[in-house]
Every structure is written in C-alpha cells, then in structure tokens.
C-alpha cells in the first residue's frame, strides 16, 4: 500500500506541474500580442493544445490511476518483469525520453489488464486494481495470473471479482460513472473494434451497452485523433435527461470534444421540447412522410391557370405572364434537379427573359411592319429594368416563393396533404405550436428538399475578401515604396514584407479566427459530416430519423446500441392498426440498415446483466415471456437476497408516498416510475417533486414515466400501476433497479406478473 501511495503522490505531483505549465502557457499566450502574423498563428495553436490538456487534466483529477500490470519474468527468470500503471489518460515524465509514468487505458500495452486470464495470462504474472479516494490509495486487489509465481502481497483477491462487485453494489449518484476500471473481456472487444462501418451492439438491460458505446467513443478518439478531432463524434441519446445522465463519462476519460444531442436537438437553433401522442409521433416517423413533403414542395411551385394570365404592372404597360410561359419556366427549373430554393433563380431568369422579350417586341415594333429596331444594348437595358421591378419580383415570389424549413413544415402540419385521412387528422395542429422531437427529421427533410440559396451571402463574403486583399496589397505597396526609397542606391539583402507573404495570404491571416471546437461548429451546421456517430436506444428510431442520421455521416461509420425487447410501443388512433415507431422500430437491424449500407455491418450481443439482480430479472423476464415464449434474458451476475414486493391500494398516491418514505436511501437514488397520467396526483404527495419538470437525476427521489427511465438505473424503484403499461414499457420499468423493486397497483396484477411474484426466488 505504501509503495502505491508513493507512486500516486509522484503521479499527482507531475499532474500538478503539467497543469501549472498549461495554465501559464495559456495566460501568457493570450496576453502576448503584437509579435506578428506567424506568432499569432503559433499562439492560437498553443492555446488550443494547452486548453485541451487543461480540460482533460481537470476532468480526470480523481481516480486517475486504477490499475497495474506486472509482466512475467524474462527467460532466465532471475528478475521480475517490468510493471506498468494504467490510468484514464497517459502521463509522461519531463525528461529527454518522455518516459511514461501512467499508461492510457486505450494503449495496446494496457489491453492485457482487461483480457488476461489464468488460462491465457498474455504475458502477465499479476494484475492489480487500485482503489482511491481523491489522491489517497484505500485498497488493493491482486489477481495472480502466473501460477508459477509464488510471491504474495497480502492483497490477493481469490475470485478476481471484488472490484466489479463493489462497483455494482455501490450507491448510484444520478450520473453514470465510467467502467474503465471494470471493463470485461466481451466489452473490451467491442470497445476496440475497427473504426470503419456500422457496428450493432445488442444487449438486454444492465449489460453495459451504453457504457461500452461511450468508452468506444473515447477509444476511437484515441486511435484516430487527427481524423475524429477534426470531424467530431456525435452521440445521440433518447432524451435530455439521459444525456445529462451520461454527460460526465467521456470527460472522466479525458475526452471533452464530443457532441451529445437528443433527436430534438439535431436541427441547429432549435431545441424541440413539445409533446404529442405516440401515434402522432409514429406517423411523422414513417417513410411516407418524405414523399408527402416532396409533393408538398412541388405544390408551392405555382403557375397561372390556363386562360387566366397573371397581369404585372409596368411603367411601359402591363406585362402578361400566361400559363404556357410559366409552365416552360417551371419545367426548366425542375429539370435542373436542384432543391426548391436553388432552382428558384432558374425559374426567375426564364420569367424575366420572357417578359423582356415581350417588352422588346412591344416597344421596338415597327408600325410599318419592318424589323424590330431595338439593338442588343437596348434589350439588355430593358431586361435590367424588369429584373429590378418590385412588381415582377412579387409575381415570381407568388409563383415560386423562397421557403424556409420551419415555415414550410409549420404550414404543412397545419394542413397535411398526401396522407391517409386518419393520419392527416393526427398530424394537424395550429401554426406556432411547440416543436416536438418527431418534427426534427421533418425539418431536416424539408431543408434537403428546399436547399439554401447562399449565393448572395457568398458574393458578399467574396466582395469583403477582395476588399481585404486590396487593402493588404496597398500596405505591401507602401512597404515596397519605403524600402526602394531607403535602399535605392544599394542592393539590400534584407527580406521585406512582400518577400515573405503575398496580399491574399496576409488578408486571410487577418480574418476573424474561429476558436470553436469541432463539436461546437458541428452543432451549428446542419450539413456537418461527422467522423463517427453513436446511437443509444437505436431500436426506437423511426425511418425518418434514420434518414437524418445517415445524412450526418456519409462514411457510415457508426456504433448502434439497442435492445429490441425495449422497443417503444404506440397506440393506434380509432380503428387504425398500431403502426409507426413501435412497428418500425421492431424491424430487424437488416431491414433498418440495408437501404443505407447493404450487408456492410456487423452485429454483436452482450449477454451478461451487471445491473439487475437475479430476483428482479426473473420477474421482468417472466412478463416478457408471456408474450414472447422464446425470449432469453441476459444472465445476472449477482443476487441481493431482496425479493420484489407488491401492494394493492385504493389510494395510489398515498401508498406511493408512504412506500417512498421508507425506501428513500441516505445514499443512492429512488425512482418512482408511473404512467404520465398519474404524475400530477403522485407528485402532490412526494417531497420536492413537481410533475412536468425535466427530472433532476441527482436528487434522491425522482418521478419518471417508463420512457424517461430508459437507459437509467437507480438503487431502488417503485413501479405504479404496472398493469396499465404496455409490455415493453413495463419491462423497462422493472429493470431499472440495482437493489430493490416494489409494485403499487389499484386492481389485480396481470397474471404473468402475479405468477412471477409468487415464484421469484428468495
């Protein structure tokens, strides 16, 4: 213990020195100005590098070192092999060789820490787990891997599971912790899988699939730093509460440049927080919506009715825009195959040319039947006048308006078309209604269909750039003039400004610097192409959501994690069959991915449950088997000896409050999971709980509905009215607890649940 404490003290002394150096470098660079263009560039690079180092050091300052591997002795066996300490990030000495003090857990030399066994020691004689509180070593656990090594330390762990079980039994904090100390062999293989292509990670509750995906993001950033730091990694979660729950994992591993977003946050400038019925969300998620939106865009490309031309006032007499002229202009614009807004100038040019011809023919006509006497210059002048006419522009706007995605989708949802009547009624809503997460794929689809005509902005930017170049050229000319005056009688060997840099490069150096990270820039750019995308609860994504995500990753480099048994269910409207998110989400991975990647994807499964005790998992599995007899749940690694309980009540809120009062742990978290319709009544009886608020998972008591609870875990859980929940939602609710589970209900429990409660082992 003393030896390890001395190492940890030395490690943190180096960390403190690195932190001080980084802080001084950043402060000095930011205040050191006026050293020229090259110095400014070097300063910006230094600030970015040292700021990133500071962020990583500050994020991992706690349990920085968690393990050690002792290599087997050499061939002569006379001396023990070297040892390497393993930690969250790599730290090196300040010497000429930059000797490693701490090995990054992602480095190849650290891999035996996770994979070595007594049967396959991978060159190790001992694996040591270090437990620390702050900077103090509190426990050591050694695993002997070389049975021929008889050296003992007194810290041997006979089973090798002490650290894992301690982590599983520890109180929850409302934030997911990293599993870097306890990564299992099957998880490690997924984390270090190759970067390219789509990897599907399927696993039941508690198998660690989310943690594995996050650690995979950290590993990929380590292995492909240059590429992914430039293009960024996107992690998509099911809701904002979940993103808050996982938000500290990657920083604790030294990675702070990843973009975390829910579906409702994937349209720049919008945070969709509105709610709607599951059926409405399901309708919005269908592939038919893409076709309906495309047809609705074409509907906004109008032409006059035959025999009812559009009359445009003009100072030289009214201009007539008839059906035939407008039809030809519209067809020419559509033939470009450009998005609506980008095709609009082609339509406008055709209309302006036709109106110009009409005006030329009127003004230049010879009353005696001779040829038109207007020349090309005259025609050009008349065309400019028509192009500048407000009346002409108003007519073009009426026939082919420039559309924004938000306004277009809002108008479409106010009066949906090209869909079955039942679906149009489900979609219909008043303009100005709050945006919902299911609207975001529609907005993205609309943005693709409409396009953005940035020609004016590009022209303005280019004009500004040319002005900067002209100014820089003037500065260089003045410099050249002063130099020729000073040295006109002798040949100078000194380098002048124009020998080092030309006007264009000088102008570029003076452009406003963008110090945002790649993740920050990606969040503001709908067309950003991410280097890798990780999707949690991928089984619930609608086809329209998949269209959005595939646009965000043209290379199709993705990690998808999910569990088909937890697929969200919807209810139909009226007599309609329940289609949509549930039915679509229940499709096989092959059906989801084939349109985008064919068969170029891999599938793997995690089958060990590290969260849910055996007693609770038996109950949840029995419920699901009632509908799916072949269902095989993940195998729980532990039992707690605590049996799930159930209590009937005629006053649900009072019974829940009473049960919660006895279940709220001094350390850890209690979740009450209830149908949304009961939240107001229950919240009124619970301390510091308000219905409708975004749940604060760091509180000891939270109130959630089953879908909000997806991906989360709590020490204790009370499920309210389980008989009213769809099977998949009930399965989710039952599998959130790490220690104990209770049920509160007003009527008879469903038969599968009642029978399972009687059979659960004590």
Residue for token pair 């199709």: 556
**What does the pLDDT average to over 525-547?**
96
Q: Do residues 496 and 475 make contact, with C-beta atoms less than 8 angstroms apart?
A: no
Query: Is residue 699 scored above 70 in pLDDT?
Result: yes
Query: Is residue 504 scored above 70 in pLDDT?
Result: no
The reported pLDDT for the residue numbered 33 is 53
Task: Choose among 171, 277, 20, 201: nearest CA to 716.
Answer: 171
CA distances from 707 to 566, 609, 733, 736, 755 (A): 10, 20, 8, 11, 25
Q: Is 295 or 96 the better-scoring residue by pLDDT?
A: 295
The reported pLDDT for the residue numbered 247 is 94
Query: Is residue 514 scored above 70 in pLDDT?
Result: no
**What does the pLDDT average to over 424-452?**
96
The reported pLDDT for the residue numbered 666 is 82
Weakest-pLDDT range from 217-231, 362-376, 635-649: 362-376
The reported pLDDT for the residue numbered 375 is 72
Weakest-pLDDT range from 44-48, 161-165, 651-655, 737-741: 44-48
Q: How far is CA 213 from the centre of its chain?
A: 12
Neighbours of 587 (CB within 10 A): 14
Q: What is the rounded distance in angstroms from the CA atom of residue 671 to the CA atom of residue 685?
A: 14
Q: Do residues 634 and 681 make contact, with C-beta atoms less than 8 angstroms apart?
A: no
The reported pLDDT for the residue numbered 477 is 64
Q: Is 62 or 215 the better-scoring residue by pLDDT?
A: 215
**What does the pLDDT average to over 356-372?**
70
What DSSP letter does each residue of 457-468 carry, written as one string?
HHHHHHHHHHHH
pLDDT digits (tens, 9 = 90+) for 97-150: 889 999 999 999 999 999 999 889 999 999 999 999 989 999 999 999 987 777
The reported pLDDT for the residue numbered 460 is 62
The reported pLDDT for the residue numbered 143 is 93
Weakest-pLDDT range from 51-60, 478-487, 647-656: 478-487
In this prediction the pTM is 0.85
Q: Do residues 631 and 625 make contact, with C-beta atoms less than 8 angstroms apart?
A: yes
Q: What is the rounded distance in angstroms from the CA atom of residue 553 to the CA atom of residue 537?
A: 18
Q: Do residues 403 and 285 make contact, with C-beta atoms less than 8 angstroms apart?
A: no
Weakest-pLDDT range from 510-519, 615-624, 652-661: 510-519
The alpha carbons of the chain give a radius of gyration, in whole angstroms, of 33
Task: Choose among 636, 700, 628, 635: nearest CA to 669.
Answer: 700
pLDDT digits (tens, 9 = 90+) for 338-363: 999 999 999 999 999 999 989 888 87
Q: What is the rounded distance in angstroms from the CA atom of residue 721 to the CA atom of residue 652?
A: 8
Which long-range contacts link 83-88 to residues 24+ away (Cβ below 8 Å)?
84/109, 84/110, 85/7, 85/11, 86/110, 86/113, 87/11, 87/60, 88/60, 88/63, 88/64, 88/178, 88/180, 88/252, 88/253, 88/254
The residues, ordered by sequence, that sit 6+ positions from 415 with a Cβ below 8 Å of its Cβ are 428
Q: What is the rounded distance in angstroms from the CA atom of residue 527 to the CA atom of residue 302?
A: 29
Q: Do residues 361 and 319 make contact, with C-beta atoms less than 8 angstroms apart?
A: no
Q: Is 373 or 577 the better-scoring residue by pLDDT?
A: 373
Mean pLDDT, rounded, of the chain: 86
Q: Do residues 560 and 539 make contact, with C-beta atoms less than 8 angstroms apart?
A: no
Neighbours of 196 (CB within 10 A): 11
Q: Is 21 or 570 the better-scoring residue by pLDDT?
A: 21
| Tokens describing residue 748 | 């008879």
The reported pLDDT for the residue numbered 322 is 95
Residue for token pair 């945002």: 516
| Tokens describing residue 135 | 């900077």
| Maximum alpha-carbon separation in the chain | 120
Weakest-pLDDT range from 52-61, 470-479, 705-714: 470-479
pLDDT digits (tens, 9 = 90+) for 578-627: 223 333 445 789 999 999 999 999 999 999 999 999 999 999 999 999 98
Q: What is the separation, in whole angstroms, between the first and last Cα of the chain?
A: 39
Q: Taking CA 521 as the corner, what is the angle to CA 518 and CA 527, rounded to the nearest 5 degrees?
A: 105
Q: What is the rounded distance in angstroms from the CA atom of residue 255 to the CA atom of residue 51?
A: 12
**What does the pLDDT average to over 712-720?**
96
Handedness of CA 531, 537, 539, 540 (dihedral sign): negative
**What does the pLDDT average to over 447-456?**
79
What DSSP letter does each residue of 297-341 carry, written as one string?
HHHTS--PPTT-PEEE--TTS-EEE-HHHHHHHHHHHHHTT--HH
CA distances from 453 to 457, 521, 540, 580 (A): 9, 21, 34, 34
Q: How confident is the model at residue 489 (pLDDT cuts 50, 70, 90)?
A: very low
**What does the pLDDT average to over 255-263?**
92
Q: How confident is the model at residue 191 (pLDDT cuts 50, 70, 90)?
A: very high
Q: Do residues 496 and 503 make contact, with C-beta atoms less than 8 angstroms apart?
A: no
């Amino acid at each position: 213990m003393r030896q390890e404490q001395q190492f940890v003290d030395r490690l943190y002394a180096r960390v403190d020195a690195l932190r001080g150096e980084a802080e001084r470098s950043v402060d000095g660079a930011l205040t050191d100005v006026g050293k020229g263009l090259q110095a400014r560039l070097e300063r910006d690079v230094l600030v970015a590098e040292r700021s990133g180092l500071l962020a990583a050091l500050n994020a991992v300052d706690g349990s920085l070192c968690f393990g050690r591997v002792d290599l087997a002795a050499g061939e002569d066996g006379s001396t023990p092999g070297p040892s390497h300490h393993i930690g969250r990030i790599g730290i090196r000495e300040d010497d000429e060789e930059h000797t490693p003090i701490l090995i990054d857990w992602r480095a190849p030399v650290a891999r035996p820490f996770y994979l070595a066994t007594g049967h396959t020691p991978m060159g190790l004689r001992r694996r040591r787990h270090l437990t620390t509180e702050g900077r103090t070593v509190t426990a050591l656990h050694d695993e002997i891997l070389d049975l021929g090594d008889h050296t003992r330390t007194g810290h041997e762990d006979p089973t090798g599971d002490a650290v894992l079980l301690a982590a599983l039994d520890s109180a929850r904090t409302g934030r997911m912790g990293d599993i870097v100390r306890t990564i299992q062999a099957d998880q490690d293989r997924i984390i270090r899988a190759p970067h390219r292509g789509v990897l599907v990670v399927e696993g039941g509750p508690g198998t660690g699939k989310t943690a594995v995906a996050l650690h995979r993001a950290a590993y990929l950033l380590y292995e492909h730093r240059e590429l992914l730091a430039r293009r960024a990694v996107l992690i998509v979660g099911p809701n904002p509460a979940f993103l808050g729950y996982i938000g500290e994992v990657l920083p604790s591993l030294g990675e702070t440049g990843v973009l975390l977003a829910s579906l409702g946050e994937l349209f720049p400038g919008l945070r969709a927080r509105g709610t709607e019925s599951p059926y409405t969300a399901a309708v919005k998620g269908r592939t038919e919506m893409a076709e309906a939106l495309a047809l609705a865009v074409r509907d906004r490309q109008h032409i006059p009715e035959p025999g009812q031309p559009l009359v445009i006032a003009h100072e030289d007499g009214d201009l007539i825009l008839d059906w035939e002229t407008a039809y030809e202009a519209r067809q020419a614009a559509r033939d470009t195959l450009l998005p609506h807004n980008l095709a609009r100038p082609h339509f406008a040019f055709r209309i302006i040319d036709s109106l110009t011809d009409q005006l030329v023919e009127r003004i230049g006509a010879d009353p005696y039947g001779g040829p038109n006497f207007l020349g090309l210059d005259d025609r050009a002048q008349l065309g400019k006048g028509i192009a500048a006419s407000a009346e002409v522009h108003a007519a073009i706007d009426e026939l082919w308006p420039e559309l924004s995605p938000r306004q277009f989708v809002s108008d479409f949802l106010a009066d949906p078309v090209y869909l079955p009547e039942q679906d149009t009624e489900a979609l219909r809503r008043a303009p100005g209604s709050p945006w919902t997460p299911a609207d975001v794929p529609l907005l993205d689809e609309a943005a693709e269909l409409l396009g953005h005509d940035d020609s004016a902005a590009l022209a303005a930017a280019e004009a500004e750039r040319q002005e900067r170049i002209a100014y820089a050229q003037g500065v260089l000319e003045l410099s050249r003039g002063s130099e020729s005056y000073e040295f006109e009688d002798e040949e100078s060997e000194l380098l002048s400004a124009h020998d080092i840099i030309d006007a264009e490069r000088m102008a570029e150096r003076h452009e406003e610097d963008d110090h945002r990270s790649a993740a920050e820039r990606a969040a503001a750019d709908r067309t950003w192409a991410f280097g890798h995308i990780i999707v949690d609860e991928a089984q619930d994504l609608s086809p329209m959501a998949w269209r959005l995500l595939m646009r965000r990753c043209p290379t199709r480099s993705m990690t998808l994690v999910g569990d088909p048994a937890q697929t969200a269910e919807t209810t139909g409207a009226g007599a309609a069959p329940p289609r949509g998110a549930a039915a679509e989400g229940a499709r096989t991975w092959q059906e989801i991915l084939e349109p985008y990647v064919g068969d170029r994807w891999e599938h793997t499964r995690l089958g060990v449950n590290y969260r849910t005790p055996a007693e609770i998992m038996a109950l949840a599995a029995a419920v699901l088997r009632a509908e799916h007899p072949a269902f095989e749940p993940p195998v729980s690694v532990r039992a707690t000896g605590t049996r799930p309980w159930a209590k009937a009540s005629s006053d649900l809120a009072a019974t829940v409050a009473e049960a919660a009062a006895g279940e709220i742990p001094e350390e850890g978290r209690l979740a009450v999971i209830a149908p949304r319709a009961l939240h107001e009544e229950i919240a009124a009886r619970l301390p510091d709980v308000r219905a409708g608020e975004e749940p604060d998972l760091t509180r000891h008591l939270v109130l959630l509905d089953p879908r909000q609870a997806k991906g989360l875990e709590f020490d204790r859980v009370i499920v309210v009215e389980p008989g009213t929940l769809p099977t998949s939602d009930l399965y989710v609710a039952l599998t959130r607890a790490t220690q104990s589970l209770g049920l509160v209900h007003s009527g008879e429990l469903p038969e599968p649940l009642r029978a399972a409660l009687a059979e659960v082992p004590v």
